[in-house]
Chains A and B, each alone.
Chain A
Amino acid sequence: MRERSGAVDRLGPVRAVAQRLAGPFLVVVSMMFIVLGKADVLLFDRLRVAVADAAAPIFHVIAEPVATVAAGIRRAEGVFDLYRENERLREENARLLQWQEVARRLQAENAELRNLTKFSPEGANRAIAAQVIANSGGAFVRNVLINAGTRDGVIRGQAAVTGDGLVGRVAEVGERAARILLLTDLNSRIPVMLDGSRERAVLAGDNSDQPRLLYLPATITPTKGERIVTAGAGGVFPPGLPVGIIASVEGGIVRVEPYAELARIEYVRVVDFGLAGVLPQSAVPLPKAAKGARNADPDAAR
């Protein structure tokens, strides 16, 4: 301490030089970080999780009043077209009642058929509800931070959905926060299938609002308006979650409009398929039995 106060004048030029060099030095450090991040992904993954975990309570505090304001804005918006909204809902209700009828019939039929085939159902999906506390904001990243983490049972790779459809998957998990990589992110790749033909494809985000369908078999010509659902490949992802509809097919580029309104997600459900769902104990011998049965059939025919 004594030394320093006496040395201020002498050290002045040294400090000035150090300060002058601080900028270029940190520029180099930033560049090194960028290169390092490309080489060693794990290091920054850990760092990101730690920072997100630490910031989660702060965001939680900020998000509360902001959500209130946003809700107020939306309510004001709603008042203006209350009449039109009412009409629309009335129509939709009538249509949904018809669907309910159809669904009931199918449910009964399904139960009966399952009973007939001794089908063992998948483990019941547990859903973890979470609030979106932050989003990426930048122009080149599409993700959201939610206030649920390992302590709530969130696991990396799980699917995040809203009432409308798939939002993305869990990319990083901290103790009390997790990051959901949205469908639209540059690095998002999700195995999906066409609902009609059951053809597999990969839904790849490219930073635009409508992700692309990749690796579709060349023989398949998708049509606009076709439904896309998750394929469930890779284990932790439940199959059959609604993803979106094909919005455009132009020059071999197929774009999908997600069902979920990714710009205004407030709450998500993280679908816990459970390891039991990936490899159901009771279902393990089932495929074998089924295969055996199929193999047995031609034999019997011969």
Chain B
Amino acid sequence: MRLVLFQREAGLPNKLVPFATTLLFVLLSLVPWHIPGFAVVTPAFALMAVYHWTIYRVDLLPPITVFAAGLLLDLLNGTPYVGVSALSLLITRAVLLDQRRFFVNRLFPVLWAGFLVTATAVIAFEWALVSVLHGALLGTRPFVFEAVLTVASFPIGSLILARAQRAFLARV
């Protein structure tokens, strides 16, 4: 992997697609769907975006983008623990960076299985972190629910991201 810093010939707007879709996914995770049970906990869409772009185009997803997305998510979801999502997404990117070769050009089930492990680990980490910050063990149910929901809706998120990648980044 070679980092190209000033690639003049390639369009800059296209290169912003990972950043834009990650932000879009942050907003998407906060949209009220008004479906029973769903609105309380929504899938961690931002995690899907970070997972996808770290595996396929990590060159276009610098840590600062991940940090910004996580921070925006923390500020928008009103948590008193600002920085939790930023931290967990940054760690996700760092850990996946070493494993990405394993996932590139594999069949979707492999990608999905990888996401299952990632999402479980990230949500367990958030549970532990918030429990420590709050000073009491939190109930695990909402976290388990979020993990199941997130993994179950991964195909939709993955499809959107893959489409965006093919449309804007095929030649970039």
Chain A residues close to B by CB (< 8 Å): 8, 12, 15-16, 19, 22-23, 25-27, 29-34, 37-38, 41, 44, 47-48, 51-52, 55, 58-59, 62-63, 66-67, 70, 73-74, 132-145, 171-172, 179, 181, 184, 186-187, 206-209, 261-266
Contact = CB atoms under 8 A, between A and B. Distances in A.
15 contacts: A19-B3, A26-B63, A27-B91, A31-B83, A32-B83, A34-B82, A66-B32, A70-B35, A135-B30, A139-B123, A140-B142, A142-B40, A206-B139, A264-B36, A265-B39
Interface in B110-146: 123, 126-127, 130, 133-134, 138-139, 141-143, 145-146
B80 A52 contact: no
B5 A135 contact: no
Contacts, number: 182
Contacts of A264: 34-36, 39
Interface in B43-85: 44, 62-64, 66-67, 70-73, 75-85
Q: Which of A34, A63, A134, A181 has the most CB of B within 10 A?
A: A34
B67 A137 contact: no
A37 B80 contact: yes
A99 B29 CA distance: 43
Contacts of B82: 33-34, 37, 44, 47-48
A56 to B, nearest CB: 10
B102 interface: no
Size category of the binding interface on chain B: 35 or more
A133 to B, nearest CB: 7
Nearest to A135: B32
A184 B86 CA distance: 24
B96 to A, nearest CB: 12
B62 A62 contact: no
Contact of B42 (A59, A137, A208, A265): A137
Given A22-B62, A134-B76, A30 B36 contact: no
B63 to A, nearest CB: 4
B31 A66 contact: yes
Contacts of A31: 83, 87
Q: Which of A30, A143, A144 has the most CB of B within 10 A?
A: A30
A139 B77 contact: no
A136 B77 contact: yes
B79 A263 contact: no
B87 A34 contact: yes
B37 interface: yes
A139 B62 contact: no
A68 B91 CA distance: 37
A26 B5 contact: no
Given A140-B126, A207-B138, A263-B37, A52 B76 contact: yes
A188 B86 CA distance: 24
A22 B126 contact: no
B58 to A, nearest CB: 11
- What are the 10 A-B residue pairs with the smallest beta carbon separation, nearest first? A33-B83, A30-B87, A34-B83, A137-B42, A70-B34, A139-B146, A23-B63, A136-B77, A139-B142, A51-B75
A195 B75 CA distance: 37
Contacts of B76: 48, 51-52, 55, 134, 145
B108 interface: no
A287 B26 CA distance: 53
Q: Which of B37, B71, B82, B138 has the most CB of A within 10 A?
A: B82
Given A135-B42, A140-B126, A145-B78, 16 more contacts: A26-B64, A26-B86, A27-B91, A30-B86, A33-B82, A34-B84, A37-B81, A48-B75, A55-B27, A66-B34, A135-B40, A138-B85, A206-B139, A263-B37, A264-B34, A265-B34
A187 B80 CA distance: 9
